[in-house]
Structure formats: structure tokens, C-alpha cells
Amino acid sequence: MNSWQIGNVKITRIVELEVAGGSLFILPDATRDAALPIQWLAPHFMDERGNLIMSIHSLIVETGDRKVLIDTCLGNDKKRGFPGWHMRQGPFLEDLAEAGFPRESIDQVLCTHLHVDHVGWNTMLVDGKWVPTFPNARYLMGREEWEHWDEHATEGQYKEVIDDSVRPIVEAGLVDLVETTEEITDEISLIPTPGHTPGHVSVRISSEGEEALITGDFLHHPCQMAHPDWCSPADSDSTQALRTRLEMFERLVDTPVLVIGTHFATPTAGHLVRDGETYRLEI
């Protein structure tokens, strides 16, 4: 667990999974030989062999009167095509409670997008039925994002993900559909960052003159700062994803905005600075 203070807002990271290697399915260009020359990635984001280190985690944003959980990882008991994600039995909820956030205390759950590793703990299995994990929370998801998956997730893996991790909270009446520029609180607002999915958003935190950006998946790993053109097969529109990445880099570079990566391994956050013709993360 690590945490950051942005003005009067506290952001806390709860890790479900952090591993080295096995990331070529999400960033196929980031082979060991290609990653090793990016020396600043080591030791936090790459091991000595050139394997990328990545994390799946949630971020809890505490304002004066609200606890907002951003992205809900993989979840337990779920049938998934990826071996390390299939039928997990991890201690995520216990870790959440130990950090001071029992599931009943969460006021809002915000999904940057509706991919498998961002919605899993929306629900939990109770007596053979998927029920909302955070019973006192409103679940916020992008209107455009939900309408896309509601229409297109009709078969295969995505149907299973939507059916076990999203539709149950819709059917429970706990979902608030929001726009990609929504202001959630005075300190929390959304920024549209499309390309990875049609309605993908990042999350801006602003308080007392300080600012942070929670990336979502417009950026999977810091190696994409050195190689913005390294796209993911999971992107719905790789051309738009690259355009978004470049636009956001120019918006963030050499500013005091703390960049908190949704899949960045420990220490997870830093500042974007120029590195020749590209960029790097300064921690």
C-alpha cells in the first residue's frame, strides 16, 4: 500500500496483483530486448532481465465527506481466460478493510472503463449469485462506455465480464451514468481519454492548488512514455489511443501534476518530464 496527499485529498492504493513478466499480451512491442535499453525503468518498472513489472490495484480517494474507490480490479470466483486471473481467491477485501476501508464504508465506485481488470470487485459471489460488493455505494460509469458494452458485449469473454461484474449492479439500481467530463465532487472530475475504449476516462484530483491525474489505461506502463507508439491489442482504436497519449503527455510534461498510473508498479506515481524527443517518469 502507498498513499499520496493532494491538498486536502488523500489517495490510497490497494494492490490486488503485482507481477514481473507476462505482459506481452497487453504490450506486445515491449519485449525484453526492446525494454532493456530504457534504463530508467529499472528497478521499479522493469526487472534486470527486461521483464516489465505491472500492477492491478484500486485507488481510494478520500475527500472531506466521501470515499471514492476507483477501478475494482479482477475480483474473486470469476471464470476468466487468462490463467492468473481465473477463479481467483485473493485477499483484496481483507486488505481493503485492513487499510481502513471496509466495503460498507465506500460511498462511490468509479470505473475508468469496463474492461475485465477494472470491474471485477464490483460484485462478489454470495450463495451462487453475483451481488454488489459495496452495498452502500453508488457505482459511477461513463454513459458512452456502458452503452458501448451493453450493445457489443453479446458473446465470448466480454459478455461474461459484463454479465458477472456490471449487469448485476445495473439491475440492482446502483448505477449512475456520467459524462466523460463529469465533475464528481469539487476535487474529483473526469477527463475524456478515448482510444483504449470508446468512453474511457482519466480522473483529475485537484485540491488547494495541487493536482494529480489517475491515468486509467490510456497508459498501461511507463515504457509507453519512451515509446508512445507502443499500443495495446486491447485498444478499441489504436490510432485514437496514440493520439490521446501524445495529447496527454504534452498536457502533463514538466508540470507539477502527479501522475498516478492505474497499472504502474510500486511506487506507482511520479512526474512526467522530457527525455530527449520523448518522455520519462521522474519519481
Domains, the chain, ranges and CATH? 3-282 (3.60.15.10)
The three cell numbers of residue 130 are: 453475483
Tell me which residue of 192, 214, 200 sits closest to 69, measured CA to CA.
214
| Distance separating alpha carbons of residues 172 and 37, to the nearest angstrom | 50
- Looking at residue 156, its pLDDT comes to 78
| Distance separating alpha carbons of residues 234 and 74, to the nearest angstrom | 16
Sequence-distant (≥ 6) Cβ neighbours of residue 124 within 8 angstroms: 75, 76, 77, 93, 130, 131, 132, 133
Element (H, E) at 182: none
- Supply φ then ψ for residue 169, to 5 degrees: -80, -30
- Supply φ then ψ for residue 72, to 5 degrees: -120, 25
- Looking at residue 182, its pLDDT comes to 98
The three cell numbers of residue 283 are: 519519481
- Looking at residue 157, its pLDDT comes to 80
Over the stretch 269-283, which tens digit does the pLDDT of each residue have?
999 999 999 999 999
Give Dmax (Cα) for the chain.
56
Question: Which alpha helices (DSSP H) does 67-128 contain, by range?
Answer: 92-98, 116-119
- Looking at residue 154, its pLDDT comes to 85
Query: What single DSSP character describes residue 84?
Result: G
Question: Does the bond joining 267 to the residue before it have cis omega, within 30 degrees of 0?
Answer: yes
Q: Give the residues of the chain that fall short of pLDDT 70.
A: none
